[in-house]
Copies of this chain bind each other. A is one copy, B any other.
Amino acid sequence: MDIAKYLEDMKNMVNIALDEYLRPKADIPKILIEAMRYSVLAGGKRLRPILCLASGQVLGGRIETILPVACAIELIHTYSLIHDDLPAIDNDDFRRGKLSNHKMFGEDMAIAAGDCLLTYAFELISSSYTDGKVRPELALRLVQEISTAAGITGMVAGQVVDIKSTSKELDKNVLQYIHTHKTGALITASVRTGAMVAGATAQELEALTNYAKNIGLAFQIVDDLLDVVGDKKKLGKTVGKDSEQKKMTYVSVYGARKADQIARQKIAAANNSLSQFKEPDLLIQIADFIVKRQS
């Protein structure tokens, strides 16, 4: 299969759905929905929703049924970028090749838009699965899975440790904690929720969790590498920021060559965990794409 075409098709489908879910309405303040749409529809690889959809598809799930939870995860990812970019946190002026949300709408709106995207993710899940296509128990488990991955033991935990460990001594355990939480948790939730909607068994879910944890770490290592050797134009964001802020990264801890090696090992481990599936090709190709990406 042509993975580039698949990724492009899925990305377009996700973009159309996100645009639809974030339609301006009379009872939403215009400036608020504009600020939300600005960041959500600013582009991006849509890696998380695509992983969610692909994982479900490998198990024979229907795309239309997986799409709401896939998009909910992208809303949460976008909220985290908006809040991370704020002056009090990473103080980043650019994101996805455009001014960051607070540079465009002001800090007050960026905080509110982030809050609303996070809230709306749960509104989207809880209101999309009332037609019986997904059992309520399962829909509730999706809420649980995603809120756990995004919160105090997941994404924000990683973000907080990242903030607090800037400029401190390098520690491999802390680095691993940051990455498995800050980006890993939501990537794992993406793969797991897609599979859950498609009716994954406990054993299938375990294998996919293993796959997801490995690609999540590889994805972050490549991100660290791109911050050093990447092209600002392709990335659409500031490069060299990590070393300027003395952030702990896989590159600063292991060096670029070793970091690249670890990323490739993680991808191999991810793909190895898919042996029980009949047609895992889609997920294998996405994993390979992650380590080869330029942006």
- Residue in contact with A129 in the complex, picked from B108, B118, B140, CB distance below 8 Å: B140
Chain B residues whose CB sits within 8 angstroms of the CB of A88 once the complex forms: 106-108, 111
- Residue in contact with A28 in the complex, picked from B25, B122, B152, B163, CB distance below 8 Å: B152
- Residue in contact with A140 in the complex, picked from B28, B140, B161, CB distance below 8 Å: B140
Q: Is A100 an interface residue (CB 8 A)?
A: no
Q: Is A164 an interface residue (CB 8 A)?
A: yes
Q: Is A119 an interface residue (CB 8 A)?
A: yes
Chain B residues whose CB sits within 8 angstroms of the CB of A122 once the complex forms: 122, 143, 147
**Could you show 26 A-B contacts with beta carbons less than 8 Å apart?**
A31-B160, A31-B164, A32-B156, A33-B152, A83-B111, A83-B112, A86-B111, A88-B106, A88-B108, A88-B111, A89-B111, A112-B156, A112-B163, A115-B118, A115-B156, A122-B122, A122-B143, A123-B151, A123-B152, A126-B141, A126-B143, A126-B144, A127-B144, A127-B148, A136-B140, A143-B143
Copies in the complex: 2
B163 touches A108 (CB 8 A): yes
Chain B residues whose CB sits within 8 angstroms of the CB of A129 once the complex forms: 140
Chain B residues whose CB sits within 8 angstroms of the CB of A33 once the complex forms: 152
Q: How large is the interface on A (under 10, 10 to 19, 20 to 34, 35 or more residues)?
A: 35 or more
A115 touches B157 (CB 8 A): no
Q: Is A94 an interface residue (CB 8 A)?
A: no
- Residue in contact with A118 in the complex, picked from B27, B118, B127, B143, CB distance below 8 Å: B118
A116 touches B86 (CB 8 A): no
Main secondary structure of the interface of A (DSSP, over half): helix
Chain B residues whose CB sits within 8 angstroms of the CB of A106 once the complex forms: 88
A147 touches B120 (CB 8 A): yes
User: How far is the CB of A244 from the nearest CB of chain B, in Å?
Assistant: 18
- Residue in contact with A160 in the complex, picked from B32, B130, B141, B159, CB distance below 8 Å: B32
User: How far is the CB of A72 from the nearest CB of chain B, in Å?
Assistant: 11
Q: Whose C-beta in chain B lies nearest to the C-beta of A153? A: B27
- Docked complex: A90-141 residues within 8 A CB-CB of B: 106-109, 111-112, 114-116, 118-120, 122-123, 125-127, 129-130, 135-137, 139-141
Chain B residues whose CB sits within 8 angstroms of the CB of A67 once the complex forms: none
Chain B residues whose CB sits within 8 angstroms of the CB of A140 once the complex forms: 126, 129-130, 136, 139-140, 143
Q: Is A36 an interface residue (CB 8 A)?
A: yes
B116 touches A151 (CB 8 A): yes
Extra inter-chain contacts (18) besides given A115-B118, A118-B119, A119-B156, CB under 8 Å? A27-B153, A32-B156, A32-B160, A83-B115, A88-B106, A89-B108, A109-B160, A115-B156, A119-B147, A120-B147, A120-B152, A123-B152, A126-B143, A127-B144, A127-B148, A136-B137, A136-B140, A140-B143
